[in-house]
């Protein structure tokens, strides 16, 4: 099937997300796994590891979104896989919002209450926060599976001729259940974490900038961490959750949601910047990988120069022999 401009743009964006986000999150997974395995890991590293796993889940589901786009937003992989893909995809979004809130709280407490923070840096707190975030996000998003198996709007179309849509084209009965839950998702799983995160990072940055003993690099990392997290909430998650509010009042599922979902997937590519600003383990892993790539680049350029230089040397040698023989004659 021929793809229109919108489908080509969406497909290209998902491919870029996948190719850029997967290596970065795998690098973060390696760094945080090693950090968590060390004695007495900090709760922040457990939260960062959990956020990495959530991003990897979303990234691994992107190929299914690509297949859907290639088939003109029709789903060729069956009902069960449709429900599981949508469930994992949307759950990972709200899993990220609550983990980002947890990370912001940890950062704020570390500078506002340093003594109490050091006394309460127990790994179990990070595990509990990750589990609560997981239960809230995946529990609330079970509505995806519930709605999927409610009576759908067929409109006389034979699914043997035309492929069905996945988590689209809802019936009136589905919308009656879905739209109020979407509004609740927006308020509880997006708006509340966003407000808490903005407050924590506002205080965190203000404290870091007001202390003269804090180095310039730490200040810039604090500002970068706050800016990237705010970008996540406003640009990546914001339009998708706004569609929940608009859809609730208009009693429909907005068609422009596909673009909002695209922006929400960008979160998996932005989070590695949060990892870099938040963790020395991630910065060390990134610097090591960068030095490795630089060394590979030097070796590759040297190999290419040798390959291009050898034929020239051989040609010069053969011409020299020809001149000797000619003179001798």
- Residue 30 corresponds to which tokens in the numbers above? 């390696």
CB 197 within 8 A of CB 233: yes
- In the three-class reduction of DSSP (H, G, I as helix; E, B as strand; rest coil), residue 306 is classed as helix
What's the pLDDT at 165?
78
Give the mean pLDDT per block of 10 residues along the chain (329 residues).
84 95 94 89 93 96 93 87 91 96 94 88 92 94 80 50 72 85 92 97 94 89 94 95 91 84 94 90 82 72 72 46 38
Quickly list DSSP for 127-183.
HHHHHHHHHHHHHHTTHHHHHHTSPP--TT--TTTSPPPSS-S--HHHHHHHHHHHH
Residue 74: its pLDDT value, please? 87
Res 158: pLDDT: 45
Other CB atoms within a 10 A radius of the CB of residue 109 amount to 18
Q: What is the dihedral of CA 244, 245, 248, 251, to 10 degrees?
A: -90
Q: Calculate ∠ Cα 29-35-38, nearest 5°.
A: 140
* pLDDT for 256: 85
Answer yes or no: are the C-beta atoms of 43 and 107 closer than 8 Å.
Answer: no
Q: What is the pTM of this model?
A: 0.85
Q: For residue range 159-191, list pLDDT tens digits in order.
A: 444 567 787 778 888 888 888 989 999 999 999
Structure confidence at residue 29 (pLDDT)? 94
Q: Whole-angstrom Cα distance, residue 100 to residue 223?
A: 15
- 3-state helix, strand, coil split of the chain in percent (to 5) is 80, 0, 20
DSSP tag of 120? T
């Amino acid at each position: 099937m021929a793809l229109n401009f919108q489908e080509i743009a969406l497909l290209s964006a998902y491919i870029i997300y996948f190719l850029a986000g997967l290596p970065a999150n795998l690098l973060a997974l390696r760094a945080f796994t090693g950090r968590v395995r060390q004695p007495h890991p900090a709760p922040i590293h457990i939260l960062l590891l959990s956020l990495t796993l959530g991003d990897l889940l979303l990234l691994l589901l992107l190929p299914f979104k690509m297949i859907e786009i290639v088939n003109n937003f029709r789903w060729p992989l069956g009902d069960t896989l449709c429900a599981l893909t949508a469930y994992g995809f949307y759950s990972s979004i709200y899993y990220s919002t609550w983990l980002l809130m947890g990370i912001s709280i940890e950062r704020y407490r570390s500078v506002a209450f340093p003594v109490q923070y050091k006394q309460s840096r127990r790994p179990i707190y990070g595990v509990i926060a990750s589990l609560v975030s997981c239960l809230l996000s995946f529990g609330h998003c079970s509505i995806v599976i519930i709605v999927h198996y409610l009576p759908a709007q067929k409109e006389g179309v034979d699914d043997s001729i035309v492929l069905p849509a996945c988590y689209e084209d809802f019936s009136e009965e589905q919308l009656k259940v879905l739209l109020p839950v979407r509004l609740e998702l927006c308020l509880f799983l997006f708006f509340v974490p966003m407000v808490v995160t903005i407050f924590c990072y506002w205080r965190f940055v203000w404290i870091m900038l007001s202390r003269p003993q804090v180095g310039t690099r730490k200040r810039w990392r604090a500002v970068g961490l706050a800016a990237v997290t705010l970008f996540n909430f406003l640009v990546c998650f914001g339009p998708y959750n706004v569609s929940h509010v608009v859809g609730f009042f208009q009693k429909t599922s907005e068609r422009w949601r596909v673009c909002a979902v695209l922006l929400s997937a960008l979160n998996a590519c932005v989070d590695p910047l949060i990892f870099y600003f938040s963790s020395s383990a991630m910065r060390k892993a990134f610097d090591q990988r960068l030095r490795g790539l630089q060394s590979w680049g030097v070796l590759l350029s040297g190999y290419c120069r040798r390959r291009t230089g050898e034929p020239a040397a051989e040609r010069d040698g053969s011409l020299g022999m020809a001149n000797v023989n000619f003179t001798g004659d």
